[in-house]
A and B are shown apart, each in its own frame.
Chain A
């Protein structure tokens, strides 16, 4: 009886494990398939950025970067084509093009001279070999003057990053630790500004910066407002400050440290993960910022950031797909690299702002 029971139990257990294994395989394969489709454009971007211009617009070309093979004959370069002959497909160079018949040369047997071939050469496929156009990258970099765009973007990103993080952490500390009149109302208003469409404040702000202060074509209209903090960052830092125990601040105050001293030397060092997350968010925001630079820097191309520069480049060189994609790939390397290196802090920050509300 006991043996029988343990037998069925074993069978049940084996069946359960087998089902689990099948389920794991199915779920994982399904996820991989979705992932492949989801990331396909990224692969497309990288691979196409390594192709020649001719290949990017040729629907019959292979998927991988390849180039038509040339053969040099009597000082000129000729395309090598796949020519069907009585003895199978031969790789011959097309020397003299004709509508009904063309003349080829066999690279393996140049001494035989020109070979006549009946048929339309346009229907023949060229011989291709794997050829990566690494050269697209330096060409894109120079054509678009990427160094200048990068310099502008980095300047903007770093100046505003320090400004906004400093101002946001001050304000967050104020909301986290002090009681003052209308605190609740002010906090609600602050959260409200997150969903306020920027357009509603933009027109007078633009008129003020451009017409009254004469800041059109400079970065100042974008840098100065960032120095006053940002609701999203304040919210995130406040949530973090609330988790820091008050004891250490009280100890510091008993030791005679003032409010500012306590904030700088007790609170900030304990909030490094949150400060890092906020800095990263701001860096990515600045790296992607498009609308502000578009309107304020209009007329001063030298001040353009990467985003606006890439858009202009796309408009001017729309047929140079391989260069545009190379530039696009260059612009996505820094954020992706930072993300892969710092993903834990980063993901934590997103989750805090999303779930706690």
Chain B
């Protein structure tokens, strides 16, 4: 079932009227149908106009003003000054973008590969108690993010945390102030944040799993007859067949990572600790717009984030044609 199931030709603007009589008779019914359709979607339509469309436009207008919320009367039009300042003068913007992308490059592949591999594991016919296992692997995703962060921040404690103590058992020196200081070391912090993120991949696992179950068994049988082993089947049959889901997860993850905020905010209040490595873009936007109440500059940062997100999404959709497989599509 694709996104547009149920949208017939009429909705796509292709007239289907064959004779005048029918056209006249149908128009009344169609008009009635259109009226009711609009009535039913009106909650969303009004909400969209009020809380998406209008604020987006106003947000852009805000970006042309020097406007501090506590002194609305002193707002003045500055043209593209905010944009110039953001792109050319403010080193924090680029630092925040750099930090966000650096984290994304570490966390995104780890998260997506883990979700895929866990789905493969949970789909294995050799796994006993599959349903119980699936439920248990999903459970951490149900843990409220704040609770997860608070627990992880203690699990990652260099001295009393269980992670270092478990690593120590394998013979690697991890415990102690000269051991693995996950949340204090700028070289480890992204890995630590990625661990916390791994507690939220349940949805990605489930969607991968559903997609794996949809791969026709004939394909595996055919590959097996051709002498393909397990790994070869995974690479040449499974992965191409689940690329739509990988693509979907990728788009959602990228959009989510641009807005990465809660973990650094809860762990250090958004102060960038350690050594500015957690000055994410959304943290910077939050500080400008809310604690500092810089509505004009905040709106500029938000619009820039939107443009970057849109750019990446368009890029992904454009390149997706080359690596995402859709069944029933001719190549």
Q: Is B210 in contact with A355, judged by CB distance below 8 angstroms?
A: yes
Secondary structure call for the A interface = helix
Query: Which residues 281-304 in A have Cβ within 8 Å of B in the complex?
Result: 284, 287-288, 290-291, 294-295, 298
**Distance A177 CA – B11 CA, assembled complex (angstroms):** 11
Q: Is A339 in contact with B142, judged by CB distance below 8 angstroms?
A: yes
Q: Is B259 in contact with A31, judged by CB distance below 8 angstroms?
A: no
**Distance A183 CA – B37 CA, assembled complex (angstroms):** 9
Q: Interface centre among B59, B133, B136, B146, by most A CB within 10 Å?
A: B146
Q: Is A351 in contact with B126, judged by CB distance below 8 angstroms?
A: no
What are the residues of chain A within 8 A of B42 when measuring CB–CB? 170-171, 174
Q: Is A187 in contact with B155, judged by CB distance below 8 angstroms?
A: no
Q: Is B88 an interface residue (CB 8 A)?
A: no
With A350-B207, A354-B207 as contacts: A199 and B145 at CB distance below 8 Å: no
User: Which of B92-100, B105-113, B221-229, B294-302 lines the interface with chain A?
Assistant: B294-302
Q: How far is the CB of B175 from chain A (nearest CB, A)?
A: 7
Q: Is A5 an interface residue (CB 8 A)?
A: no
Q: Is A115 an interface residue (CB 8 A)?
A: no
Residue of A nearest to B309 (CB): A197
What are the residues of chain B within 8 A of A44 when measuring CB–CB? 151, 154-155, 161-162
With A205-B51, A328-B147 as contacts: A31 and B33 at CB distance below 8 Å: no
Q: Is A202 in contact with B302, judged by CB distance below 8 angstroms?
A: yes
**Distance A336 CA – B306 CA, assembled complex (angstroms):** 34
Q: Is A357 an interface residue (CB 8 A)?
A: yes
Q: Is B55 in contact with A59, judged by CB distance below 8 angstroms?
A: no
Interface size class of B (residues with CB under 8 A): 35 or more
**Distance A324 CA – B149 CA, assembled complex (angstroms):** 11
**Distance A346 CA – B47 CA, assembled complex (angstroms):** 26
User: Which of B231-239, B261-269, B272-280 lines the interface with chain A?
Assistant: B261-269
Q: Is B30 in contact with A174, judged by CB distance below 8 angstroms?
A: no
Q: Is B58 an interface residue (CB 8 A)?
A: yes
What are the residues of chain A within 8 A of B55 when measuring CB–CB? 200-205, 208
**Distance A186 CA – B37 CA, assembled complex (angstroms):** 12
Residue of B nearest to A199 (CB): B302
With A28-B127, A40-B155, A355-B210 as contacts: A307 and B146 at CB distance below 8 Å: yes
What are the residues of chain A within 8 A of B129 when measuring CB–CB? 28
Q: How many chain A residues touch the partner (CB < 8 A)? A: 105
Query: Which residues 183-203 in A have Cβ within 8 Å of B in the complex?
Result: 183-184, 186-187, 189-191, 193, 195-203
What are the residues of chain B within 8 A of A190 when measuring CB–CB? 44, 48
Q: Is B318 an interface residue (CB 8 A)?
A: no
**Distance A150 CA – B92 CA, assembled complex (angstroms):** 38
Query: Which residues 48-64 in A have Cβ within 8 Å of B in the complex?
Result: 48, 56-59
Q: How far is the CB of B185 from chain A (nearest CB, A)?
A: 19
What are the residues of chain B within 8 A of A298 when measuring CB–CB? 290
Q: How far is the CB of B40 from chain A (nearest CB, A)?
A: 3
Q: Is A269 an interface residue (CB 8 A)?
A: no
With A174-B41, A183-B7 as contacts: A357 and B248 at CB distance below 8 Å: yes
Contact of A335 among B6, B46, B143 (CB under 8 A): B143
With A207-B295, A339-B142, A350-B203 as contacts: A58 and B43 at CB distance below 8 Å: no
Q: How far is the CB of A149 from chain B (nearest CB, A)?
A: 11
Q: Is B135 an interface residue (CB 8 A)?
A: yes
**Distance A347 CA – B233 CA, assembled complex (angstroms):** 27
**Distance A23 CA – B38 CA, assembled complex (angstroms):** 57
Report A's interface with B, CB cutoff 8 A: 20, 23-24, 26-28, 30-31, 34-35, 37-42, 44-45, 48, 56-59, 167-168, 170-171, 173-181, 183-184, 186-187, 189-191, 193, 195-208, 210-211, 225, 227-229, 231, 234, 238-239, 242, 259, 263, 284, 287-288, 290-291, 294-295, 298, 306-307, 310-311, 314-315, 321, 324-325, 327-329, 331-332, 335-336, 339-340, 343, 347, 350-351, 354-357
Report, nearest first, the 3 A-B pairs whose CB atoms are least far apart. Answer: A228-B47, A178-B37, A174-B40
Can you list 18 residue pairs at the A/B interface with Cβ under 8 Å? A40-B162, A48-B154, A168-B44, A178-B34, A186-B41, A190-B44, A197-B259, A200-B302, A207-B62, A225-B50, A228-B43, A228-B46, A259-B36, A290-B145, A291-B262, A329-B147, A331-B147, A357-B3
**10 further A-B pairs in the complex, CB-CB below 8 A; given A196-B52, A197-B306:** A40-B162, A42-B143, A45-B147, A183-B11, A199-B302, A228-B43, A231-B44, A325-B150, A328-B151, A339-B139
